[in-house]
Amino acid sequence: MFLKVFSFVKMPLIVIFLIAMGRSIIGISGVPYAPRGNAMFSIVNTMLLSSLYFGALSSPVGRFSWTETVLIGLIIAEFAEILIWIMTFASLIGNLQNSYFLHWDSLNIKEGTEIGYRALIPRTVALFTAPIPCIFLACLGRFVFSRLIPLPAQASGGR
């Protein structure tokens, strides 16, 4: 069941990875975090939207059960949050002060606060809390939006 769902959500996982790489590159290259830099590559928004639309696709396209729909939200959330945790850790190890993963606003702390390895605390908490809205959105997508997915036309025997 896990591998079936994992195979189904490969595309959003790749997109989340590309968004994370873009976020890392623009931060390191010196693009200011606010007002536009943070909005260009949002891992959390991509994670939430992917959970919603792949939840909507879970029934008509994937032919998944509700349990597998829940797993869609869980896999997408955990992948994104593990990636954020790794990028934060790599930013700390590499002493990348311009990294968006170490920015005070992304960590919800006061401006000017010395961050250090305490940055990993909210990232670790997110590993356990981020799946909640993603699972909810995947189920919401299946319940509400799956009816909007057009089903492929059935092939007829002749023309």
Kindly tell me if the per-residue pLDDT of 60 is higher than 80. Answer: yes
- Residue 115 vs residue 72, higher pLDDT: 72
The answer as to whether 14 is a domain residue is: yes
Assigned domain for 26 exists? yes
Give the chain's domain count: 1
Query: What is the structure's pLDDT at 155?
Result: 47
Q: What is the pLDDT of residues 141-158, one digit of tens each?
A: 999 999 898 877 654 554
- Checking if the pLDDT of 125 tops 80, the result is yes
Give the model's pLDDT for residue 153. Answer: 67
Name the residue range of residue 75's domain: 2-148
CA distances from 75 to 7, 31, 51, 96 (A): 11, 31, 9, 28
Give the span between the Cα atoms of 85 and 123, in whole angstroms: 6
Contact 1, 71 (CB under 8 A): yes
Per the domain annotation, does 157 fall within a domain? Answer: no
pLDDT tens track for 29-40 = 888 888 777 778
Q: Are 81 and 11 in contact (CB under 8 A)?
A: no
Q: Let me know the angle formed at the C-alpha of 82 by 81 and 88, rounded to the nearest 5 degrees.
A: 90
23 part of a folded domain: yes
- So what's the pLDDT on residue 159? 47
- Structure letter (DSSP) for residue 95: T
